[in-house]
Structure 1
Amino acid sequence: MYAQNGSAFMADEDLLNTVLADLKRTVREYTTAATESNCPSVRRTFTDLTMDTLRLQGELYNQMSQLNMYTAPGKALRQDIDKQLQTAQQTQTKCQQFVQQKTGGAGAYAQAGNIQAHQPNVHSQNPYYM
């Protein structure tokens, strides 16, 4: 895209970063719309849009990464990820207990049982998640 004087409107890297950020925002918006929709066909439409947008975002990220226009974040320490997982599991347990308390044990959580959360591979000796 060029300005009226023939110079570039903005650097390619800046423009692509803007598009990448907008794709991420769009995924969040579509996900919200899908989770809040009551109609199955509307939910399916927003789910499909979410997946298509995630695919586009991934392709753009890969191209930018290959052109050294986007630097991936550093590796996370396994202990930091494990701590976050533990906190999320505790929150999930508290939420399930709250729902069971308020519904008298009836409802979706009572029948679903305890949902198994992701457990890190304890056999791996790599201190980082990738």
Structure 2
Amino acid sequence: MNASNNSAFMPDEDLLTTVLCDLKRTVREYTTAATESNCPSVRRVFNDLTMDTLRLQGELYQQMGQLHMYQTPGKALRQTVDQAIQSGQQTQQKCQQFVQQKLGGQNSAQSQGFDPQASMQQQNGQSPYYM
């Protein structure tokens, strides 16, 4: 990309930042649509759209970083991330307990073969940072 494009209606950096923000917004919208879909095939389409959009957003983010158009955030301390994961797991457990109470002890997620704990396992690395 040419960062000094004078013939454009706006600087490349501003244009790419706008596109990046739109991709992030689109991911949120697709995720919402997927979670609210009742039809498995519609849900699958929105899941695929979400993953494709995340890939595009990641590629654009990397390109902008290489061109020094986007300030990359600092490294997150492992302890901070681990606390956020633990908090999320606690919230998930509370939600599961609430649903079990309301459904009379039936756990519909596990009866359908979904094990949220298996997908949330933590890895113990040696670096104090997540990247």
Task: Give TM class, smaller chain.
Answer: 0.7 to 0.9
TM-score (structure 2 length as normaliser): 0.81
- One-letter identity of the residue aligned with 1:119: Q
Classify 1:44/1:125 alpha carbon distance in 2 versus 1 (closer, same or farther; 3 Å): closer
C-alpha distance 39-57 of structure 1, shift in aligned 2 (>3 A): same
The number of residue pairs the alignment matches comes to 123
- TM-score normalised by structure 1 residue count: 0.81
- Percent identity over the alignment is 71
Moved more, 48-57 or 107-116: 107-116
| SS of alignment partner, residue 117 of structure 2 | coil
Aligned to 2:16: 16
Distance 1:40 1:99 in 2: 21
Matches within 5 A, 1:1-130: 8-109=8-109, 111=111, 115-116=117-118, 117-121=120-124, 124-130=125-131
* C-alpha RMSD over aligned residues: 2.1
Structure 1 residue 64, shift from structure 2 partner: 0.9
Residue 125 of structure 1: CA displacement? 3.0
Whose Rg is larger?
A: 1
Deviation of 1:51 (Å) = 1.9
Corresponding position of 1:3: none
Query: Which 5+ residue runs of structure 1 have no aligned equivalent?
Result: 1-5
